[in-house]
Each structure stands twice: as structure tokens, then as C-alpha cells.
Amino acid sequence: MNSFLRDLLGAFSDGRRWLADVTGRKSVTHDQLVELAEALLSGRGEASGVAIAQEVLRGYGTLTGEARTAFFATLAERFGPDRERLAAAAEGFLAADGPDAQAEAALQRASEPRRLELIRRLNLAPGGTAALVSMREDLLAVLRDRPDLHPVDADFQYLFTSWFNRGFLTLRRMDWDTPASILEKIIRYEAVHEIQGWDDLKRRIDMPDRRLYAFFHPALADEPLIFVQVALMDEMADAIAPVLATDRETVDGGHATTAIFYSISNTQVGLRGISFGNFLIKQVVEDLSREFPSLKTFATLSPVPGFRRWLDGEIAKGGEAVRALPRAADILPRLSGGDWIDDPAADKEMKPALQALASHYFLVARSPTGKVIDPVARFHLGNGARLERINWRADLSEKGRRQSHGLMVNYLYDLKDIERNHEIFANKGEVVAAPAIARHLKALSLRKTATAQE
């Protein structure tokens, strides 16, 4: 990129700050805000769009939580499509005999709610994108109690999907030369293995065998949207503590064979449902492959956040997995106690039992709607990864014990199999897993096992 671009995005970075600035300024009423929104959609908006958009966002920023929800309700009711025009278009389309591109296009245009254009025009304001992402965060917070606002959210999501298209995102490595203001956000946003201050962060980004990559969008230029942390290693990690240890030995990047993605965090609540992770992982796999030809294996070291809750449910209701577990009467009571995990003798009996139950959790168990239960598994399997290994005593933090009895898993990203894996998972709902996973399952006396990759 030529040097000319460096100031190209100056105008974008002040969205949140801007919203914050309005605190204490003259507030507006709901009706004034709606009036402004109507003005923005009118001819006045064409003449003075930037100024009016700014005023709407400023006014919104002065509203209380309840008033914001009321504004969303008005967006739902009053800023939908023009119903008469839509009805006419629908009738016109149905009346056509044979395909009629004209009628289809008319129907498409008529079905667009007015709030779509409203949101687009709000984006005229400096810092508008950040303010709109923040606005949707407010909306999501009340959505569970206000299903009538779903159409408003759908419109936000529709536009954000277009605006935050992967083609507009840039991958950036974060390192120790990154501005502190951005690194501070990395510390705050890390959601998987909490970053314990700046020293811990430095260990994760300023060592030759550690990397942190983030996606950025030009309109939110100082906000990482999602980031992934990578450890370059000489084997596939089977526990998190050695990865994060303060006194570990570093691996020479040129000799590393394995890249372990040990943490992936989304940062913007207001962008929920806009998918970045898939692209992020694949881009990082490609970039690392180019930089370190010695890398052969790309895998995650991932938590299993839903395992223990599922298992507790199975135990409570005497589910299939529990019934099929040999020596369940011995094992299950120990699980509810806390300290078996630190007992070396546990390896003999508890390890195979938990691995078998976890295999069942991944390969057999399904949610009421027929989906794989574990959200992290759904993400990686949906990306085309395969479930590679179930690691015993892999996360002994309080959180690790509480969520998954200390288990973690590896998902393997093998670029040549990704399409096939994805299709098996997406079309047949089958989990592609290494043979070892199916072998764990055999410890249970089940009638039928799931497919495993040979």
C-alpha cells in the first residue's frame, strides 16, 4: 500500500467517543427524535443529511434506556414498508403470468422498510457506524423481552452484514508496537482465558512463538472486531496452562510444526450474528503457512463450555449416556465432589469415563432442535474443522472445572478437507471426528455409534 493512505480514515474513529460526548447536553424527547428521523428521510435529509443524522444520533444518546426502547418500538411500527404500496406490488407480482422481472423488482423495492434507509442515512454522520453498532447493542439487550422488535434488529443485521462484508475487513497483527489504546481493548475484550494485565499481554504478543491477529473495519478503525491468539509449538497442545505459563521455553518459529489457536474473542456485542471467525481463522492459517513453511498442523485448543451442564442433566434424568457408562455407580458420585480431578489415581478410571461421556456429548447427543449442543463445536465444525482430540486435565482453572470437568478439545483445520467436512456437517448433521473420538465412545455400551472419519 502506498503511504498516501495512512490518514485515509481519520473521520471514522470517533463514534463511541462522540456518543459519550453528548452526555449532559440538551436532551430530546421521543417525539422530537421521531420528527428528526422523518426529516432525515425527507427532502431536508437530502439537503442537510449529515447535520440531521448527527442530531438524531446525538439526541438518541441523551435518551434513557426506556426511551430508547420506545424509539425502537416506533421504528418497528412506523418505519416499516409502505403497506399499500407493498400490497399493490404483491398483487402485481401474483397477477403476472410467467416470470416477470419487473414485477419482482417492484416487489423487492416495495418490501423494503423505511428504517433501512433511515439507518443508511444515520451513517452519514461522522462516527455514525460506531454509533449505530452501539445502538444495536442497546436493542439486543431488550430483544428477549420485546419480540416485536425483531424486525428492527433484522434490518440492523441486514445492513451490518453488507457493511462488514469480509472484503472490507483488514487483518492486522497486534504486537508490542501496537498503540496502547488498542492493546488495552484487547485486554478488556479477551473472553476465553482472561489476560492478567500488561505483563501477561506482553507474553502473548511479544514472544517469537506467540501471535495475536485481529480484524478491523475502516469505519471502526480503533476497534478490533474479533481476534485470535496463536501459539507456535512443536506438538499439539493438550492443556492450556503450559501455553500461558510465565516461564515456558520459547519455540523457534522456524522450527514450529503446529499452530495452536487457543483463544478467539468477538468484541462488539452490536455485531452479534455477523460472522467473522470463519474468515479470520482461515486467513491466519494462510498467512502463517506462508511465513513459517515448517508448520504442518493448524488446530485449536478449545473449551467445551456446555459439557458439564449437559452431563449434570443426563445424570439428573438418567439419560442414555449415563446408563451406558460402565461402573457408573462408582464414577458419577465422585464427579459431583470437587477434588477427584487432582488425584493422580483418577487417571485410571475417571479419564476414560469422561472421555467416553464427552464423545457421546459431541457425536451422539443433540439439542431438542437436533443440533450439536456445544456452541464452540458448532462454530468450528461449521467452519469445516474436525474434532481431533479430547484432552483430560486440560484446563484446571475454576472456570474449566465448572464448565467441563477440566476437559478441552482440539479442532483440526486441514484446508484440503474443509469443504468436505463442512458439507458433511452442514448437510447431514454428522460430526467429523478423528478415529480416537469414536474409540472413546466404545467404552459406553450403546446400540449405535456415530460416524467417524477413518
Instruction: Judge whether 380 counts as a catalytic residue.
Output: yes
129 is a site residue for a second copy (CB under 8 A): yes
35 is a site residue for a second copy (CB under 8 A): no
Q: CB of 2 within 8 A of CB of 22?
A: no
Q: Binders of a second copy among 388-447, rule CB under 8 A?
A: 418-419, 421-423, 426-427
185 is a site residue for a second copy (CB under 8 A): no
Q: How far is CA 43 from CA 58, 74, 110, 120, in A?
A: 21, 21, 19, 15
By C-beta, is 124 or 396 nearer to a second copy?
124
384 is a site residue for a second copy (CB under 8 A): yes
Contacting a second copy (CB under 8 A), which of 26, 31, 47, 317?
47
By C-beta, is 38 or 320 nearer to a second copy?
38
Q: At its nearest, how many Å lie between a second copy and the CB of residue 444?
A: 31
Cα torsion 210, 215, 218, 219: sign: negative
Stretch that binds a second copy, among 103-111, 233-241, 250-258, 433-441 (CB under 8 A): 103-111
Q: At its nearest, how many Å lie between a second copy and the CB of residue 73?
A: 11
CA 422 – CA 411 distance, rounded (Å): 13
Stretch that binds a second copy, among 93-101, 251-259, 297-305, 439-447 (CB under 8 A): 93-101
Q: What is the dihedral of CA 59, 62, 64, 69, to 10 degrees?
A: 20
Q: What are phi and psi of 110, to 5 degrees?
A: -70, -25
Contacting a second copy (CB under 8 A), which of 24, 99, 293, 337?
99
Among 13, 134, 302, 404, the one annotated catalytic = 302
CA 374 – CA 360 distance, rounded (Å): 12
Q: At its nearest, how many Å lie between a second copy and the CB of residue 336?
A: 41
Stretch that binds a second copy, among 64-72, 196-204, 317-325, 355-363 (CB under 8 A): 196-204
Q: Cell numbers 488498542 label which residue? A: 182
CA 73 – CA 80 distance, rounded (Å): 11
Contacting a second copy (CB under 8 A), which of 25, 32, 66, 170?
170
295 SS3 class: coil
Q: How far is CA 83 from CA 75, 88, 107, 113, 425, in A?
A: 15, 9, 11, 10, 40
By C-beta, is 159 or 328 nearer to a second copy?
159
Q: At its nearest, how many Å lie between a second copy and the CB of residue 199?
A: 9
Stretch that binds a second copy, among 30-38, 313-321, 382-390, 406-414 (CB under 8 A): 382-390
By C-beta, is 136 or 393 nearer to a second copy?
136
Q: At its nearest, how many Å lie between a second copy and the CB of residue 168?
A: 6
End-to-end CA distance of the chain: 46
Instruction: Judge whether 193 counts as a catalytic residue.
Output: no
Q: How far is CA 360 from CA 109, 321, 407, 450, in A?
A: 49, 7, 14, 9
Cross-strand bridge partners of residue 389: 410
Q: At its nearest, how many Å lie between a second copy and the CB of residue 266?
A: 18
Which residue numbers are catalytic?
A: 302, 380
